[in-house]
Amino acid sequence: MTAVKETARRPLGHFAERSIAGLLGVLGAGAGFGVLLMLVRFKWGPLYHADHEAAEWFNGLVAPHHALVTVLQAVTDLGGRPVLIWLVTIAVVGLLIRRQSRLAVYLIITGVGGLILDPSLKALVGRLRPVVDVPITHAPGNSFPSGHALGSFVAYGALLLVFLPAMSPRWRKPAIAIVAVLVALIGLTRIALGVHFVSDVIGGWLLGAVWLGVTAYAFRLWRRERGRPVPPITEGLEPEAGEEITPAPAEEHVLEHPRSAIAELVVGWVIVFGALYAFGMFVGYHAKGTFFETLDTAVPQWFAERRTDSLTGLSWWWSKFGDTHAILVVSLVFCPIVLAIWKRWRPVLFVVLAMFGELSLFLASARVVQRPRPPVENLDGHMPTSSFPSGHIAATICLWSAIAIIVFARTDRWWRWLFVAMAVIMPVGVATSRMYRGMHHPTDFMGAILLSALWIGLLYWVVRPNADVHRGNQPAIGSEQVRELDDELAKASRED
């Protein structure tokens, strides 16, 4: 009987030991943040001078080097709200699809708490941002604490705690180290770019550690109260969910013959480029007296004669659907959701290669053909690339065609036809807007169709994005169960 009691007490003792150590760490971070907050709030002299001297030193070091500034801005964007909100939102959606509602609730609470803490404390302290000799960039709002430092610590830390069980044990320590380095670099970029003092960044880190520690402790305490084992934090919040949250647990290899696939894609890319070069040179410089010349002359002129303020505004919006930002946003939303539902990397690889191939073929062919824009007013002004082929149209065709190919084969629901419709409507709308705005000839549109048809056809033949469907792969959640996702959060809150 005594042995049984000791066995039952052992997990409780381990939890208590770990909890005390964790609480001491959280309390230490909280105390450090409280002291720093008071020093900043009352403008303690030594800290004030140290912060301003560091800001001036970093400004003198970074401002003359434009390439370094570009790198720093790219790193600092990884801690910005758009990126962090996207990461957390996609993770929450994926967890709900995989029926891991408790972890989804944890991410929501932790992320929302970080969003609330940042502006409220900035308003409370009211510290102005650094003023440097050579401003590199600027940011709105007050300075203390650093929102990038706080947000990156909370968001990347919470994602790490949630997805650690999906990693093999040998990769967990490197993953922790990578996240720590990334958070540190994001904080340092805020100082180097001159938008935060050193104490702002340290304050953000300390507050992030406090909030992340509190939420992690609350989650582990919740597990303990329900009689579930509480493993070391280095194993993640919910180790038993490891297989469910692994991106593709059943996929042995993405491609059966990767070397031959790479060779086929390289050869195919060269052939597609050759076709684009030949067609582009013909319509651009050798089509005089043909139907193509008549079309390229009459259509831009017809659009230019019928421009109105309302149509110009509408064409601007339609054109934006095909620019780099819109294409990237749609890709970054679609790919993680596909991965969460079907647990396969191959469809994701299909979309990634579609966009990478389109971009490289467009840039290469535009560079060698060097076709001038139509001889009408170009509403978008001077562009860094030439007219043939249209990058906006080609990117739109490749993206929505790839999405339609993947979705259509993976569901028999009526709404799969919506994606087929989008694969037609979106490119036609973008093409019309680009020609209306005087940025492309009709044969540039034809070149985009040629590029997309050849490249997507090649990828479909080589990658075979829906091969797993023919082997009976089913989604992690059936399409008829999508409505159940709305109930997951409510179930998690009632669970005991």
When pLDDT is cut at 50, 70 and 90, the band that residue 23 belongs to is low
Pick from 383, 343, 337: nearest CA to 363: 383
Query: Which of 51-55, 313-317, 442-446 has the lowest average pLDDT?
Result: 51-55
Structure tokens of 349?
Answer: 């690889």
pLDDT at 360: 94
Binned at pLDDT 50, 70 and 90, residue 129 comes out as confident
Of 152, 471, 198, 195, the residue nearest 343 (C-alpha): 471
CA-based nearest residue to 355, from 326, 319, 312, 387: 326
Q: Which pLDDT score is estimated for 278? A: 94
Separation in Å, CA 241 to CA 40, 167, 214, 377, 403: 43, 11, 22, 59, 29
Q: Which two tokens stand for residue 80?
A: 């910005």
Query: pLDDT tens digit string along 111-127?
Result: 988 888 888 888 888 87
On the question of pLDDT at 170 being above 50, the answer is yes
Confidence of residue 359 (pLDDT cuts 50, 70, 90): very high
The confidence band for 341, taking pLDDT boundaries of 50, 70 and 90, is confident
At 391-427, the pLDDT tens digits run 999 999 999 999 999 999 888 888 889 999 999 999 9
Instruction: Return phi, psi of residue 338, to 5°.
Output: -60, -40
Q: Report the C-alpha gap between 357 and 446 in whole angstroms.
A: 18
Residue type, 441: H
DSSP 381: -
Residue with tokens 């992030």: 208
Confidence at 13, pLDDT banded by 50, 70, 90: very low
What global pTM score does this model have?
Answer: 0.78
Distance CA 483, CA 481 (A): 5
Q: Is 145 left (phi over 0), alpha (psi -120 to 50) or beta?
A: beta
Average pLDDT, the chain: 84
Distances (CA, A) of 327 to 113, 314, 322, 354, 438: 31, 18, 6, 12, 22
Q: What does residue 18 show for φ and ψ, rounded to 5 degrees?
A: -65, -35
The per-residue pLDDT for 21 is 59
Please say if the pLDDT value at position 28 is more than 90: no
Confidence of residue 53 (pLDDT cuts 50, 70, 90): confident
Looking at residue 191, its pLDDT comes to 87
Please say whether the beta carbons of 224 and 237 come within 8 A. no
Residue-wise pLDDT tens digits, 81-95: 889 999 999 999 989
- What's the pLDDT at 472? 60
Tokens of 212: 């992340």
Task: Indicate the range of 62-66, 211-215, 392-396, 439-443 predicted with least confidence.
Answer: 62-66
pLDDT at residue number 107: 92
C-alpha span between 144 and 105 (Å, rounded): 28
**Confidence band of 236 (pLDDT split at 50, 70, 90):** confident
- The tokens for 60 are 């003198």
